[in-house]
Structure 1
Amino acid sequence: MSRCMQCHAQFHEPLHILNFYKATPLICPSCEQQWEDMCLTKDDTSDVRRCQRCLKVLAEDEITCLDCAFLEQSYRLIDQLYCTYQYKGMVRETIHQYKFLKDVALAEVIASKVRLPQEQFDYIVPIPSPVERDRGRTFNPVKVVLDQMHVHYTEMLETRIRPKQSALGKMKRARSANPFTFNSEINIANKSILLVDDIYTTGLTVHNAGAQLYVRKIRKLGVLTFAR
């Protein structure tokens, strides 16, 4: 008998040849299904179109992604967003419980769901949060998940304390000064970089961080997030 790390219900997984050598599941079948229901492709049909770059569902009258067009006025766009889950339902509840209610044990659940892209990158770089915020939380939500995934990452960005981005409108966020600075001696010219963040919302956070990398003549910039 196992206990689900999400709903804390006890569950029993019947033993058979397909799971005999597998580790015990972290979450129960009900929670597992709720994660599956939040997959970005779950409700896609032949009529659903997504931006190939940022994975946003395009409106019927959108020929090109308006979000990317808005960002392109001020930034060089990322090459690709890699993300599996929508930020709603079980996924949103889990990230909120983990990040804001400091249930750090859920990092193991999130790590089990996040998948690195198959493409190879020279450096994997976590999006930083202000030191003061990490100190109050007692952990960095992105780095702890990467640690759980046993991913080697390189810290080369830092950021100052700023208003929580979820509390600001899109235009206010766009007009804010870039909060990120590059703090590494590494020469990243012609390198490919994978930025990792928890949530992709407007794209302004990762494009601000990307601006500090593009100016150093990187070759490619991908972004991995836990949810979109």
Structure 2
Amino acid sequence: MSLLNKVLDFFFPEFCEVCNHHLKPQEVFVCRRCLNTLPFLKLYCQRCGSLVSESLLEKGIDRIEYCSYCSQKNFYFDRVFALFQYKEPVSEWLVRIKFAQDFRLAFALGKLIRGFFSFLLSDVDMILPVPLSIERLRERGFNQSALLAWGFLGRKPFSEAIFRVKCTKPQTELTGKERWENVKGAFLAKDWIKEKKVLLIDDVMTTGATVNEAAKALKMKGAKEVYVLVVARNQLL
């Protein structure tokens, strides 16, 4: 196999991630049949991304712009976009990306997300992955959010606008309240983010503490609006 073919095969897998059948030219990552079986979010709060009972759909409610969780928190981001619930196989894919270093999977998943949220490419001035601390980046060797953003953009994302200046404990080890305390002051943004509309990309959102602190750093430097795009939204703790 030539080097070019190896590169193409790496970034553009030819087989469905679920059923392993050959993908058609217009299909990305999963075939159309398997795509319909994935745990899509049918209803969630547009403001904070919190999951909302899908039973409301039966009552004709197909959009929630503000929820009870929003009233409890001071969110610095302006809106959340999420594609899936944090359930299998999506949850398993995100674990593989983070702990099995499946770079191809991250890139392909980012490309899949683009098919649903491509309008954001023209709606914002800048797309940024949520950064890791230098210590965590050295330990892991990569930032999964940057790989997802790379797939979403189709090119390497710009990552010099916001930095993680504090190495925090992994959020998965903490309670909901501890998560908010854990990430306080963890990010620092550059001055030239002023008046920019920014999209932050991350893999999964649970309490929203991490992306909120990142959004706070951007807003403190004058960002006009901050949106959040995540692959999956998890249940609140």
> TM-score normalized by structure 2?
0.74
In the alignment, the residues of structure 2 paired with residue 12 and residue 130 of structure 1 have an alpha-carbon distance, to the nearest angstrom, of 39
Please, which of 131, 142, 149 is the counterpart of residue 128 of structure 1?
A: 131
* Secondary structure in structure 2 of the residue aligned to 1:84: strand
Cα 1:10–1:176, aligned 2, differ >3 Å: closer, same or farther?
Answer: closer
Give matches, 1:69-218, under 5 Å: 69-72=71-74, 76-115=75-114, 116=117, 118-119=119-120, 120-149=123-152, 150-151=154-155, 152-159=157-164, 160-176=166-182, 178-182=184-188, 184=190, 186-218=191-223
Letter in 2 for 1:114: I
Letter in 2 for 1:68: C
CA deviation after TM superposition for structure 1 residue 207, in Å: 0.9
In the alignment, the residues of structure 1 paired with residue 16 and residue 21 of structure 2 have an alpha-carbon distance, to the nearest angstrom, of 11
Q: Answer whether contact 2:200 2:229 (CA < 8 A) is retained.
A: yes
Letter in 1 for 2:135: E
Number of aligned residue pairs:
205
CA deviation after TM superposition for structure 1 residue 214, in Å: 1.2
Q: Answer whether contact 1:121 1:192 (CA < 8 A) is retained.
A: yes
CA deviation after TM superposition for structure 1 residue 161, in Å: 1.8
Moved more, 213-222 or 197-206: 213-222
* Secondary structure in structure 2 of the residue aligned to 1:110: helix
Q: Answer whether contact 1:165 1:173 (CA < 8 A) is retained.
A: yes
Q: Answer whether contact 2:189 2:221 (CA < 8 A) is retained.
A: no
CA deviation after TM superposition for structure 1 residue 183, in Å: 5.0
Structure 2: 5+ residue stretches without partners: 1-12, 56-63
Moved more, 203-212 or 138-147: 138-147
* Structure 2 residue aligned with 1:56: 50
Q: Answer whether contact 1:6 1:94 (CA < 8 A) is retained.
A: no
- Give the share of equivalent positions with the same residue, in percent: 26
Cα 1:23–1:51, aligned 2, differ >3 Å: closer, same or farther?
Answer: closer
Structure 1: 5+ residue stretches without partners: 14-18, 45-49
* Secondary structure in structure 2 of the residue aligned to 1:187: helix
* Secondary structure in structure 2 of the residue aligned to 1:194: strand
Larger Rg: 1
In the alignment, the residues of structure 1 paired with residue 129 and residue 159 of structure 2 have an alpha-carbon distance, to the nearest angstrom, of 7
> TM-score normalized by structure 1?
0.76
